[in-house]
């Protein structure tokens, strides 16, 4: 048997043993995962430095703090999340137990991403553990150092049978996708997402797809351009632009382009100094293939900011391009790099038309102080998430569901949303064998043609003798 198949079998046998179901075990595993993150933070930061030139400052901010918050919430709320959830009863079920019971799905496959290899791999794992599942973890081979470290650490802290780590590249992922799972959680590109969904269809496996796409950013002329530029610059160029919810391009009125460009230039100088290449806070492109892809997207343009590159270091300077044609290749593909196109629109209605003519984005950013303009954007657009006057920060709030819509993905996670996404919500109705007269209508009415009012009298008389508080009954519902 292949290593991938063995991992599936091992996790399935461990799940069927029942040891992942007790809340005490789930809590113990969550505490162990928290311990791993805290004890190994330095090793994780070193691996990210080697993979992406991630700064020591950004590692907690971008990867670990969010994971710790998710684990703390799961530990504190797990008993509530996993408890039966009462639902409304009808007249005919007033004396029954009627509730929804969250149950583990079974064995989940988690395919992680390379741009945030810890947050985007362990985040779904937190939900899988909290929901009582087994999970096979497949980290991305592109973030090689993080992948190797995760493979070494996870079995030391977590149950190695319930949560095995499978390393490897495309062929190993394909082998995993040929197998049966109860759920597949994938974070990455839309092209691979289609392949994941196609493979899942063979076993009717439900999927969560976090795919990204081109997330627009609209800057209204009435906003504080300096503040907007500062926030956009941070969100676009952190992690060298390799963020699925980074502002992909900016829509703005031609009258504010020059001011916006100048404010971005000043912000870049503040963030990374005169030479971002030598800044300890500026990252690198993950590999040569992605470096070449991003460089090819810039061909034919004269940057108004940046444009410098060094293939030997996979370095591309923070770059801004102005007056980019909407039909250009740069506007057809997700950039996923430190290149920010500015696209001219005449007003907010033109911006809304531009956004709605394209696939629904994972995130939409709007910088505006006019409430009517804000309401217009909220009401007339669709996206996985929307932020007004900031970028990226919705990802940090685990009370909000994070996920896409349409081509930008399906499903959602973070906090309780992760637990719910990776649970089966079982409908439960528990009834006594007594009080048959209450249910007489469904058995005898078709044969003896009992009228609606007679049925109501039978039901009401039985309820009146057992329920002390008054109950309103609608004849139209019987």
Residue with the larger pLDDT of the pair 461 and 165: 165
Q: How far is residue 385's CA from residue 404's CA, in Å, rounded to a whole number?
A: 7
Co-location of 201 and 267 in the same domain: no
Q: Give me the pLDDT at residue 470, please.
A: 41
Do 197 and 239 have their domain in common? no
- Which domain covers residue 456, as residue numbers? 439-477
Q: Summarize the confidence of residues 450-464 as an average pLDDT.
A: 53
pLDDT for the residue numbered 80: 98
**What's the mean pLDDT in 20-30?**
98
> What total number of domains does the chain contain?
3
Together in a domain, 100 and 179: yes
Query: What pLDDT is attached to residue 474?
Result: 37
Given a cut of 60, is residue 324 above it in pLDDT? yes
User: Do 304 and 283 belong to one domain?
Assistant: yes
User: Do 140 and 277 belong to one domain?
Assistant: no
State the pLDDT confidence band at 190, using cuts at 50, 70 and 90. very high
pLDDT, tens digit, for every residue of 111-143?
999 999 999 999 999 999 999 999 999 999 999
Q: Is residue 433 in some structural domain?
A: no
Average of pLDDT values for 246-275? Answer: 97
In this prediction, residue 175 has a pLDDT band, given cuts at 50, 70 and 90, of very high
Q: Pick the residue with more confidence: 255 or 458?
A: 255
Closest Cα to residue 463, out of 98, 90, 99, 86?
90
What does the pLDDT read at residue 463? 55
Q: Is the pLDDT of residue 106 over 70?
A: yes
Residue 426 has pLDDT above 60, yes or no: yes
Domain-located, residue 431: no
Q: Which has more confidence, 284 or 471?
A: 284
Whole-angstrom Cα distance, residue 93 to residue 44? 54
How many whole angstroms separate alpha carbon 380 and alpha carbon 350?
12
CA 102 from centroid of its chain's CA atoms: 20
The order of strands in the sheet holding 249-252 is 319-321, 339-344, 249-252, 216-219, 363-367, 385-388
Share of the chain above pLDDT 70, in %: 92
Domain identity same for 259 and 309: yes
Question: Does residue 125 form part of some domain?
Answer: yes
Is 136 part of any domain? yes
pLDDT at 443 over 80: no
Asked whether residue 305 falls in the same domain as residue 246, the answer is yes
- Nearest 5°: CA angle at 380, between 374 and 385? 70
Pairing of strands 97-104, 423-430: antiparallel
Query: What is residue 140's predicted lDDT score, i.e. its pLDDT?
Result: 97
Residues 298 and 161 in one domain: no
The verdict on residue 203 lying in a domain is: yes
244 is catalytic: yes
Q: Report the interhelical angle of 119-130 vs 65-82 (nearest 10°).
A: 20
Residues 356 and 231 in one domain: yes
Q: Are residues 179 and 295 in the same domain?
A: no
- Token pair 């740069």 is found at 330
pLDDT score of 308: 97
Active-site residue 210, yes or no? yes
Output the 3-class SS for the chain: CCHHHHHHHHHHHHHHCCCCCCHHHHHHHHHHHHHHHHHCHHHHHHHHHHHHCCCCCHHHHHHHHHHHHHHHHHHHHHHHHHCCEECCCCHHHCCCEEEEEEEECCEEEEECCCCCCCHHHHHHHHHHHHCCCEEEEECCCCCHHHHHHHHHHHHHHCCCCCCCECCCCHHHHHHHHCCCCCEEEEECCHHHHHHHHHHHHCCCCCEEEECCCCCEEEECCCCCHHHHHHHHHHHHHHHHHCCCCCCCEEEECHHHHHHHHHHHHHHHHHHHCCCHHHCCCCCCCCCHHHHHHHHHHCCCCCCCECCCEEHHHCEECCEEECCCCCCCHHHCCCCCCCEEEEEECCCHHHHHHHHHCCCCCCEEEEECCCHHHHHHHHHHCCCCEEEECCCCHHHHCCCCCECCCHHHEECCECCHHHHHHCEEEEEEEECCCCCHHHHHHHHHHHHHCCCHHHHHHHHHHHHHHHCCCCCCCCHHHC
Of residues 217, 223, 240, 244, which has the active-site annotation?
Answer: 244
Considering only CA atoms, which of 34, 40, 110 is closest in space to residue 75? 34
The rounded radius of gyration (Å) of the Cα atoms in the chain is 27
Closest CA to 423 of 129, 139, 196, 180: 129
Two tokens, residue 335: 């950039």
Q: Are residues 205 and 232 in the same domain?
A: no
Residue 450 is assigned to a structural domain of this protein: yes
Q: Does residue 436 surpass a pLDDT of 90? A: no
User: Mean pLDDT in the chain?
Assistant: 93
Structure token digits, residue 47 = 């691996």
Residue 467 reports pLDDT greater than 60: no
Instruction: Indicate which residue of 144, 210, 217, 223 is catalytic.
Output: 210
User: What gap in Å lies between CA 366 and CA 387, rounded to an integer?
Assistant: 6
Average pLDDT over residues 24-48: 98
Beta-bridge mates of residue 343: 251
**469 vs 207 pLDDT, higher one:** 207
Report pTM: 0.91
At 460, the pLDDT band (50, 70, 90 cuts) reads low
- 145: in domain: yes
pLDDT tens digit sequence for 270-317: 999 999 999 999 999 999 999 999 999 999 999 999 999 999 999 999
Q: pLDDT value at position 290? A: 97
Tally the residues of the chain: 478
Which CATH number belongs to the domain containing residue 239 in this structure? 3.40.309.10
Give me the pLDDT at residue 446, please: 52
Residues 90 and 186 in one domain: yes
Confidence of residue 240 (pLDDT cuts 50, 70, 90): very high
**445 falls within a domain:** yes
pLDDT tens figures, 216-238:
999 999 999 999 999 999 999 99
Confidence of residue 475 (pLDDT cuts 50, 70, 90): very low
Query: Dihedral angle at the C-alpha atoms of 305, 308, 314, 320, nearest 10 degrees?
Result: 20
């Amino acid at each position: 048997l292949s290593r991938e198949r063995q991992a599936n079998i091992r996790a399935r046998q461990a799940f069927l043993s029942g040891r992942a179901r007790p809340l005490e075990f789930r809590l113990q595993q969550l505490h162990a995962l928290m311990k791993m993150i805290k004890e190994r933070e330095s090793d994780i930061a070193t691996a990210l430095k080697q993979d992406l030139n991630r700064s020591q400052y950004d590692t907690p901010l971008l990867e670990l703090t969010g994971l710790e918050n998710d684990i703390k919430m799961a530990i504190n709320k797990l008993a509530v999340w996993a408890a039966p959830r009462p639902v409304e009863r009808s007249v005919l079920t007033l004396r029954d137990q009627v509730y929804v019971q969250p149950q583990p799905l079974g064995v989940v496959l988690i395919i992680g991403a390379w741009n945030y290899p810890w947050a985007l791999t362990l985040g779904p794992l937190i939900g899988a553990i909290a929901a009582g599942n087994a999970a096979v973890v497949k980290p991305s081979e592109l973030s090689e150092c993080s992948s190797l470290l995760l493979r070494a650490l996870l079995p030391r802290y977590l149950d190695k049978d319930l949560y095995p780590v499978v390393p490897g590249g495309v062929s190993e992922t394909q082998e995993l996708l040929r197998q049966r799972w109860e759920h597949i959680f994938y974070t990455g590109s839309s092209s691979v997402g289609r392949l994941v969904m196609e493979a899942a269809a063979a076993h009717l496996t439900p999927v969560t797809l976090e795919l990204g796409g081109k997330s627009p950013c609209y800057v209204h002329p009435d906003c504080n351009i300096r503040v907007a530029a500062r926030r956009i610059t941070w969100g676009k160029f952190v992690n060298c632009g390799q963020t699925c919810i980074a502002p992909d391009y900016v829509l703005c009125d031609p009258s504010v382009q020059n001011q916006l460009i100048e404010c971005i230039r000043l912000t870049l100088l503040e963030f990374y100094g005169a030479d971002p290449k030598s800044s300890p806070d500026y990252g690198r492109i993950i590999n040569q293939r992605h470096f070449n892809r991003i460089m090819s997207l810039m061909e034919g343009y004269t940057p108004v900011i940046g444009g410098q590159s060094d293939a030997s270091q996979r370095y591309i300077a923070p770059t801004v391009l102005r007056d980019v044609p909407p039909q250009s290749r740069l506007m057809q593909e997700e950039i996923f790099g430190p290149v920010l196109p500015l696209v001219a629109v005449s007003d907010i209605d033109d911006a809304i038309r531009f956004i709605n003519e394209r696939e629904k984005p994972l995130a939409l950013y709007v910088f505006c102080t006019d409430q009517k303009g804000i309401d217009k954007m909220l009401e007339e657009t669709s996206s996985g998430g929307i932020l007004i006057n900031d970028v990226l920060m919705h990802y940090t709030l685990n009370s909000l569901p994070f996920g896409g819509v349409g081509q930008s993905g399906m499903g959602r996670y973070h906090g309780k949303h992760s637990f719910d996404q990776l649970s089966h919500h079982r409908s439960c109705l528990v009834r006594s064998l007594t009080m048959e007269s209450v249910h007489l209508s469904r058995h005898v009415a078709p044969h003896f043609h009992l009228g609606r009012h007679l049925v109501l009298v039978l039901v009401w008389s039985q309820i009146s003798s057992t329920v002390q508080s008054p109950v309103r009954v609608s004849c139209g519902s019987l």
